[in-house]
Structure 1
């Protein structure tokens, strides 16, 4: 807190000083820049005035010469020597470096500079055409030099010539202008973006950089410009009417930045001193606040560690109030700790120990082999919740927990593991009779909604052994016993050695199943379906098999049930469809058109993409839909009748044959049979295997066959094992038969060989019959 307080104070002061300094410096900088521009504007006016004064001086001198009688007579008589002498003498008196005489047509008669031609002075001479009685003046570029030139008319009495005098814009003039204005000056010519420097008071480096910035200065002529090329603020002024000759005046930035830099240094010193003073005051003030707070912080830390401590401060200020608050908090924490410890290890609904406490409290009992665990739950508790509501379900659990606390003998540990499952620990083994006696007061007389409810309880029992490995193993084994008790006649079951391994085996199978599908551990077998009237075989049922590398052959009823419970049945169905369609395509391409049937589960039928996936497989393998049959059970239809029927209609629309498998074992066979878009009914083997001995089975098969035929279905009998059964099926009118009598499920190569042998036998039988 002390650090934060000091940092906040310093931050606020820094922000205030920074904002003030920046505002002040920006204002001073803007004022300095404005003054610099004003200095350049004044210097520009001084330059113009100086050039005007020179122009007036030249104009007066030229007019005196033009009015001289001897000079006019020499011009009129064209006495070249007299003219040259007069021009030289008169020019020397005014220090003019250029003397000219031009005739009325613009031709150059006499020039003190031999390199000058009539074309060079044309821009100035053109101005005499409008003003032929008064002198004209301008600054022009002649012979690589800028001159300020004045032309005056020579009359005798009519205009006979023009006489001119000029001063160069040279270093002498630049020094004079620089001395008057206190600024550097440069004279430069600009033509077609080419710049020629005549003279400048700048140093050599800045003279070399000047042409690069001239486009910007000319574009903003008359406005002071600062640039990165030179450490100057410059202003360009056009000297001639054609704007080809320019004077650029330069103000060194240091002249106005020096005062700015000095003021900035002063501000930094003031800011540093203020910051140091503020830091000292903040530290002293912060210590006066944080000292008592540090003591209270230590007090709070000791409270957090569970120590009783005396508050370090008293008084009526905020620190004293905080001290009293911490004392109250210390008392509240003790109370809440007790509540938290209880709620952490106890079930909030029943007050029994929870699973966390169970794992802790059971640990010492692992070394006591005479102990045992009882895990019980309420049969059809979900049904009670659905009918009476969850609040009444909770009330029932509370009443059951109260009775469990009162039973004799009293358990060493009573816990609710979750839902309707309770765990009881005893220090000795129990028998079934003892458990039944224990359960007796728990079964009857629960009052819910003014009605008496009687319960049925399921109990799993686990007797500790001398080699217990851990709490999880113990709890898992008693849970396995509870699961076995649900199928026991008296709803009580003991854990027996080996059941844990069976449970682990199931977990291993569930874990290995996805990789087994990819690693070739699964394979398909095919059992023929023989057409009884035709004595032919053109169809078979595809069945899946699993050869596990550790457990060997796994019966389908085991891993199919595990796949359904674990949600992996879709993986098996997808693999089976792909494998069977691939095999069927191979046989059809090799002149063996066999229709193969695949079993589908409930989850397969509820998959909206099933028909699209099967169609894609058929298209990929170029296999007609008639080569595939799909078998569904009555229980699968009952899961969601409307959705399943729609799915079957889509599959039938593709041309796939549909069958009802295990017919006769469901609860609503006749109710749904008339609605199902199927082609075939397969009578369950439970009615076929003993048909030659059981008259009732024969009647059921006959009635079912007649009913199915009347609805337009073919009938296949499953599980035929002997010839006597075949005779009864023929009498009942079955269309096809499937079972060990003809062949067990065969791998693809064995099925191909069996089919060829079967067809040869049938042809031989037909041949003998015809003889």
Structure 2
């Protein structure tokens, strides 16, 4: 039956605990008493063993004295010396009768049996004891031996006249009378057994016939644990085994009846059961009364706790006293108040940022929905320029203080915002009930740009602002937050750091997300392809190199300009996929051309992320080996900005590539920073001057001057120079005059697919005069 009420549980627990305690106490007491009784029983057996050993020792001493006295008798020695058989037997019989010895015998010095009172004895029976006389002809030898199947306590003494002439012996049997005699002394039963190869044999015992029949099966265990008292369930005795002879073939077993030590144990156990029954009855009565006094007020408090759970605001029941139940009543009342406070705190924490106490993103999304649905307004998203650097330099704790101070200023803005929320990191969003213009946003930012005090230092911030002016019902919360975030991204490119969301930017953003999503699959399904633009040696008027350019024809969005998807791939961290694909395509195509006899050098552009990849060199080397293409067939172009990102790592990577035999070029030279400072350290072969200085060179003298100076600088440093972006023949003439080595541009050819490029190359190398002698070919 299942117990559900507290009163019943208290009664059961009280009775159960008392029962367990009583059982544990009784169990421990009975076990202790049982161990003590067993210990006493073992002590009794130990004493009995000592008594048995002493009795046997006394008999051995009596035998030794008698035998020694006989061996020293002059008449006996003379009879032995003269071999008077009748005299010897008479003397042996007389001496044996004096001490009630059952066995008298005489042995020759060699151990032959001369005289024996037991005609059934043979020399083989005496041999074990006679062996002990070897080297000991001056003293008696005593032991217990089995003679003709009967255990005897036997003593041999030397007979000398004066030399050893014989051995005389006397013995007592270990039989039932001896066992009864010892039992009368120790009050314990005793058994004599022999252990031979054929097994264990019981010789005599004081046990009754039934227990004698069970004894042989228990003897091996008793002998194996000699001198140890053993209790066996099949016997009503505690038994112990004692070896009697030196060869341990004869054993005495003493038995103590169990009833002698179990009687007091059983009587005490009955008394404990009576005491336990009485205590249990009293405990049951007390438990019922005690449980009733507790459960009544607890029921009242339980009903009050149920009302607390339902949110009812009533007062706690009054329970007098200072006991635990009264304390529980006061605790429930305090808990009711604490729960109300905690609910308010939890509601606040669920919708507020723990650092700035502004609304969090979850609350902002909930609170923005009615504003976006019912009226016009403006969302402004702010973030701090270079906030990561502030954390790195000043530490995160100071960065947190800065965010807290900024949140305080946001709450003090005039006009005040309808909603201020921290979206995460250093980004905050403000909600205004009317659209804002650029001037108004600038005025708001101006209130936030004053110095911030951190560790007694003044920090001036630069803020960016993305602004989204919305109309009622024109956007969901998700749309509004996405659009204001797009405006903030655009603000990063604005000098003033302010940008408004413009219609269509959302679609552009979605387009960029689509391109990032589709790019990995497009590399696999053939949307990308490679085109090649020749790099013409204008000094030799020959073409033996080209630049490989990647193109993407999207099935839905059409042609995607490289500068669009390359930048997206770099931001998304998947530029490595494009580079791997490009290297495989270009090296494979170059290998085909080399097999056809077109020994071209094809250049591939690398981004800064490629140069920071430690496995780039190994990857390129493996691709060249797979296609059996010499390293001279491949050229790599890097921009100045890529080098400036991590100059030491990039220079080390370029050195490894140069060691393979790959040609290296600096692309877009002249548009980066510190180009001259790093140019002398770079392990490159070629400098490519940016098209910004080439496309209008025939009309701009400054461009011509820059190209000429750059060419001279490159040549002085041992580099070749390639000019990009040539579109007119007039510009070609100026580039020749400046000393440029190679020219790349639409004048010679637009980027062509592999088959078209091979056709153009064969035509150009066969006759290049039209490009150098005719007017512009657009």
Query: Shorter-chain TM-score category?
Result: 0.7 to 0.9
The equivalent position to 2:112 in structure 1, one of 79, 83, 107, is 107
> What does residue 431 of structure 2 align with?
424
CA distance in 1, matches of 2:259, 2:750: 109
SS at match of 2:125: coil
CA distance in 2, matches of 1:34, 1:695: 122
CA distance in 1, matches of 2:649, 2:707: 29
* Structure 2 residue 468 is matched with structure 1 residue 460: yes
The equivalent position to 2:437 in structure 1, one of 435, 438, 442, is 435
Query: Aligned pairs, how many?
Result: 745
CA distance in 1, matches of 2:378, 2:322: 62
* Deviation, structure 1 residue 674: 3.7
SS at match of 1:313: coil
Deviations 1:621-654 (A, max 9, x none): 7766545433221222333445544544454455
Cα pair distance change 1:505/1:208, threshold 3 Å: farther
Instruction: Confirm or deny: 8 A CA contact 2:384 2:427 kept in the other structure.
Output: no
Cα pair distance change 1:424/1:241, threshold 3 Å: closer
SS at match of 1:565: helix
Alignment of 1:346-425 (within 5 A): 354-364=360-370, 371-377=375-381, 382=386, 395=405, 398-399=408-409, 401-403=411-413, 405-406=415-416, 417=423, 419=426, 421-424=428-431
* Deviation, structure 1 residue 309: 1.0
SS at match of 2:37: helix
* Structure 2 residue 227 is matched with structure 1 residue 214: no
> What does residue 735 of structure 2 align with?
729
* Structure 2 residue 707 is matched with structure 1 residue 701: yes
> What does residue 448 of structure 1 align with?
450
> What does residue 681 of structure 1 align with?
687
SS at match of 2:467: strand
SS at match of 1:147: strand
CA distance in 2, matches of 1:178, 1:550: 116
Instruction: Confirm or deny: 8 A CA contact 2:380 2:484 kept in the other structure.
Output: no
* Deviation, structure 1 residue 538: 4.1
CA distance in 2, matches of 1:698, 1:145: 138
Alignment of 1:624-643 (within 5 A): 626-643=632-649
CA distance in 2, matches of 1:53, 1:347: 102
CA distance in 2, matches of 1:688, 1:255: 124
* Structure 2 residue 562 is matched with structure 1 residue 562: no
Deviations 1:242-283 (A, max 9, x none): 544332434466754665566567557756866786687577
> What does residue 41 of structure 1 align with?
46
CA distance in 1, matches of 2:215, 2:594: 96
Instruction: Confirm or deny: 8 A CA contact 1:702 1:732 kept in the other structure.
Output: yes
SS at match of 1:704: helix
SS at match of 1:307: coil
Cα pair distance change 1:136/1:307, threshold 3 Å: closer
* Deviation, structure 1 residue 40: 1.6
* Deviation, structure 1 residue 98: 6.1
> What does residue 317 of structure 1 align with?
322
Deviations 1:132-191 (A, max 9, x none): 999975421334443334568999999987776655545675576567645454544567
Cα pair distance change 1:727/1:297, threshold 3 Å: farther
CA distance in 1, matches of 2:47, 2:740: 124
* Structure 2 residue 644 is matched with structure 1 residue 601: no
> What does residue 139 of structure 1 align with?
144
SS at match of 2:536: strand
CA distance in 1, matches of 2:107, 2:190: 33
**How large is the RMSD of aligned CA atoms in angstroms?**
5.7
Cα pair distance change 1:182/1:316, threshold 3 Å: closer
Cα pair distance change 1:507/1:249, threshold 3 Å: farther
CA distance in 1, matches of 2:372, 2:499: 23
Q: TM-score, normalised by structure 2?
A: 0.74
The equivalent position to 1:660 in structure 2, one of 655, 661, 666, is 666
* Structure 2 residue 197 is matched with structure 1 residue 197: no
* Deviation, structure 1 residue 680: 1.6
Instruction: Confirm or deny: 8 A CA contact 2:512 2:568 kept in the other structure.
Output: yes
* Deviation, structure 1 residue 12: 8.7
SS at match of 1:40: helix
* Structure 2 residue 161 is matched with structure 1 residue 120: no
Instruction: Confirm or deny: 8 A CA contact 1:461 1:482 kept in the other structure.
Output: no
Instruction: Confirm or deny: 8 A CA contact 2:222 2:240 kept in the other structure.
Output: no
> What does residue 713 of structure 1 align with?
719
Cα pair distance change 1:725/1:146, threshold 3 Å: farther
CA distance in 1, matches of 2:463, 2:58: 128
* Deviation, structure 1 residue 696: 4.3
Instruction: Confirm or deny: 8 A CA contact 1:350 1:397 kept in the other structure.
Output: yes
Structure 2: stretches of 5+ with no match in the other structure: 1-5, 206-210, 453-457, 773-778
* Deviation, structure 1 residue 311: 1.9
* Deviation, structure 1 residue 356: 2.6
Structure 1: stretches of 5+ with no match in the other structure: 218-222, 767-771
Alignment of 1:51-62 (within 5 A): 51=56
Instruction: Confirm or deny: 8 A CA contact 2:535 2:544 kept in the other structure.
Output: yes
Instruction: Confirm or deny: 8 A CA contact 1:101 1:111 kept in the other structure.
Output: yes
SS at match of 1:120: helix
Alignment of 1:328-343 (within 5 A): 330-331=336-337, 334=340, 337-338=343-344, 341=347
CA distance in 2, matches of 1:748, 1:170: 122
Instruction: Confirm or deny: 8 A CA contact 1:200 1:207 kept in the other structure.
Output: no
Alignment of 1:220-235 (within 5 A): 223-226=227-230, 234-235=239-240
Instruction: Confirm or deny: 8 A CA contact 1:462 1:478 kept in the other structure.
Output: no
Deviations 1:467-502 (A, max 9, x none): x6x5323432343355456668995545535x4444
* Structure 2 residue 485 is matched with structure 1 residue 476: no
SS at match of 2:638: strand
Q: Which moved more, 1:699-708 or 1:392-401?
A: 392-401
CA distance in 2, matches of 1:632, 1:90: 130
* Deviation, structure 1 residue 570: 3.8
SS at match of 1:533: coil
Cα pair distance change 1:298/1:182, threshold 3 Å: same
* Structure 2 residue 538 is matched with structure 1 residue 532: yes
Instruction: Confirm or deny: 8 A CA contact 1:171 1:200 kept in the other structure.
Output: yes
Alignment of 1:505-654 (within 5 A): 505-514=511-520, 524-546=530-552, 554-577=560-583, 580=586, 594-607=600-613, 610=616, 626-649=632-655, 651-652=657-658
Cα pair distance change 1:752/1:199, threshold 3 Å: farther
Cα pair distance change 1:305/1:763, threshold 3 Å: same
Instruction: Confirm or deny: 8 A CA contact 1:480 1:495 kept in the other structure.
Output: no
Deviations 1:299-342 (A, max 9, x none): 45544543211121255736666655655665565466556545
> What does residue 776 of structure 2 align with?
none
Cα pair distance change 1:6/1:600, threshold 3 Å: farther
